[in-house]
Structure 1
Amino acid sequence: MPVSERNGTKVWQRRTGRESLFHWVLWLIGVAVFAYCWQQISNATTWFFVWDAPRIAGDIWTRATPPKWEYITQLGKPIWDTLNIATLGTIISLVLAVPVAFLAARNTTPSRFIIRPLALLIIVSTRSINSLIWALLLIAIIGPGVFAGVVAIAIRSVGFCAKLLYEAIEEIDETQVEAITATGASRWQVMAYGIVPQIMPAFAGIAVFRWDINIRESTVLGLVGAGGIGLQLSASLNVLAWPQVALILLVILAAVVISEWVSAKVRGAII
């Protein structure tokens, strides 16, 4: 802490004069950037619709209540497709993420200068693009339907799972690996008996956590034609069938809550 003297008395200060000036300059720059961004957003916003939003929201609420409960008989297959998209996409992503994670981890990669950067590139590229964008691209390539949704979820999840898994691999206890290596075990035996047992709890937790996330993401893939309950939601929105929309949203909420409960129970059992 800097010290200054006033009337011969030492006074403790949090910052020196130069540090305080620099601190205030940063604040001024931040306020100026915020004001500029707000001005740009304000110029591009039709404020009449913003002020009228409460009335529109109230009108939609009136039209959507009560939900059309008899429509629930038509939501069985769509919600089942949504669960399948999330589950199959998670399984495929885990199968692909495991080798990528081992290639990306510093202590297991065959080459830190060639293979590891390529593995990290795969992790970053798959995580950087949202599942909806992947779904749009895949629908243009393989056509609309559940399969496009499964592949979109799988690609989106590879980077997430591989990143968490390779970090878990890098944090293992090296003494166990050294002990198995000292017995003359091969590289694959060291991996199977020294590394895999240590990362299995992390792997199980990652799998359940990602499946929980994919349940949420798969509910909206139907909005772009990738199957699932989102397809029913899009169709109902297009014809302004608000009671059906309300029921679909309630079903999605129930599915998300149940998946959250299941994942929490599984993670609790693993930990």
Structure 2
Amino acid sequence: MLAEPTVAGGAVRREWARFTPAQRLARFGVFLFIVLATVAALRTVDIIPEFLTDAPQQMADMLTRMWPIDFAEFQRGAGRAMLETINIASLGTLITLVMALPVGLLGARNVTPVPALNWLAHVILVTSRSVNSLVWALLFVAFFGPGPLAGTFAIAFRSIGFVGKLLAQSLEECQPGPIEALQAVGAPRTSVLLKGYWPQVKPAFWSIALLRWDINVRESAVLGLVGAGGIGVALQNSMDFFQWDRVALILLMIFAVVVFAEIAVNIIRKKMI
């Protein structure tokens, strides 16, 4: 910012300032709010100093118990549980795509110019995103009982908000030229969707689907902690019985699958887009 010119010995001298007084006041207000929020959080969080002092010793003791890793647990059931986790994530993602597609179409204002339907779609999308996957899992465990079915529906319902919102945004960003040309020649609504909108949103759609599958693989690994099937069940059982060598194997498997999923998603995305 260039400040008002000042006169020194008959010569005009200009002073430069990085921020205006209003900007400096706003920055001070933001920093003050952050400090006050941090202080309030530290006062409300119940931190026991005794637990902090011996935390390094406890961590070292746990790591000692995790070694050597019990690789035999893979044959006894951990491998099957991990495969179940991948199946939960994959099937849940497929169900998500089926359910999120109509919701995304209703949420796009240029595709569905009906405010009531747009509002209904956004309520569904916000509801899906606002409930954590573990909470969805608890609900479906109560409906269907413990098992992978509850985990699959938890993953599906949690992902609708993510996929549907991004799909609706992609539809709203489409160029209107091809759509108007199709409508001008009297093309039916289905042809407008398939020939006008779909070619423009296709790269974004597959990117969204692959990214969501990658996220679902990570989330499904912990759903078993509340009885929704998968590797989380084996992890919870091993922790309950203090079998830390098996816990180490399960954590290693989760890490390996997450890395593999990341690599696979990148490769598939390059091939398809």
Which TM-score tier does this pair reach, normalised by the shorter chain? Answer: over 0.9
Distance 1:199 1:22 in 2: 40
Distance 1:125 1:37 in 2: 27
Q: Secondary structure at the match of 1:156?
A: helix
Match status 1:109 vs 2:112 = yes
Match status 1:95 vs 2:98 = yes
Distance 2:29 2:80 in 1: 59
Distance 2:23 2:84 in 1: 59
Q: Is the 8 A contact 2:2 2:14 kept in 1?
A: no
Distance 1:151 1:104 in 2: 22
Distance 2:157 2:218 in 1: 16
Alignment-derived partner of residue 49 in structure 2? 47
Q: Is the 8 A contact 1:2 1:15 kept in 2?
A: no
- Distance change (3 Å), C-alpha of 1:202 and 1:69: same
* Equivalent residue in structure 1 for 2:182, among 180, 183, 200: 180
Distance 2:87 2:26 in 1: 55
Distance 1:132 1:140 in 2: 12
Opposite residue 223 of structure 1, the aligned amino acid is: L
Question: Unpaired segments of 5 or more residues in structure 1?
Answer: none
Opposite residue 164 of structure 1, the aligned amino acid is: L
Q: Shift of the alpha carbon at 1:201?
A: 1.7
Equivalent residues in 2 for 1:219-238, closer than 5 Å = 219-238=221-240
Alignment-derived partner of residue 141 in structure 2? 139
If the length of structure 2 is used for normalisation, what is the TM-score?
A: 0.93
Q: Shift of the alpha carbon at 1:200?
A: 1.6
Q: Secondary structure at the match of 1:68?
A: coil
Alignment-derived partner of residue 28 in structure 1? 32
Give the number of equivalent residue pairs: 268
Q: Shift of the alpha carbon at 1:6?
A: 4.5
Opposite residue 27 of structure 1, the aligned amino acid is: F
Q: Which stretch shows the higher mean deviation, 157-166 or 1-10?
A: 1-10
Instruction: Give the 4+ runs in structure 1 shifted more than 6 A.
Output: none
CA RMSD in angstroms, aligned pairs only: 1.5
Equivalent residues in 2 for 1:185-264, closer than 5 Å = 185-264=187-266
Q: Is the 8 A contact 2:141 2:150 kept in 1?
A: yes
Alignment-derived partner of residue 121 in structure 2? 119
Q: Shift of the alpha carbon at 1:25?
A: 4.2
Q: Is the 8 A contact 1:93 1:154 kept in 2?
A: yes
Q: Which stretch shows the higher mean deviation, 154-163 or 25-34?
A: 25-34
Distance 1:17 1:157 in 2: 45
Alignment-derived partner of residue 42 in structure 2? 38
Give the percent of matched residue pairs that are identical in Structure 1 and Structure 2: 43
Q: Secondary structure at the match of 1:75?
A: helix
- Distance change (3 Å), C-alpha of 1:23 and 1:146: closer
Question: Unpaired segments of 5 or more residues in structure 2?
Answer: none
Q: Is the 8 A contact 1:4 1:13 kept in 2?
A: no
* Equivalent residue in structure 1 for 2:79, among 76, 82, 90: 76
Distance 2:206 2:30 in 1: 44
If the length of structure 1 is used for normalisation, what is the TM-score?
A: 0.94
Q: Shift of the alpha carbon at 1:91?
A: 0.2
Distance 1:215 1:6 in 2: 64
Alignment-derived partner of residue 66 in structure 2? 64
Q: Secondary structure at the match of 2:47?
A: coil
Q: Is the 8 A contact 1:135 1:148 kept in 2?
A: yes
- Distance change (3 Å), C-alpha of 1:187 and 1:227: same
Q: Which stretch shows the higher mean deviation, 207-216 or 191-200?
A: 191-200
Q: Is the 8 A contact 1:2 1:16 kept in 2?
A: no
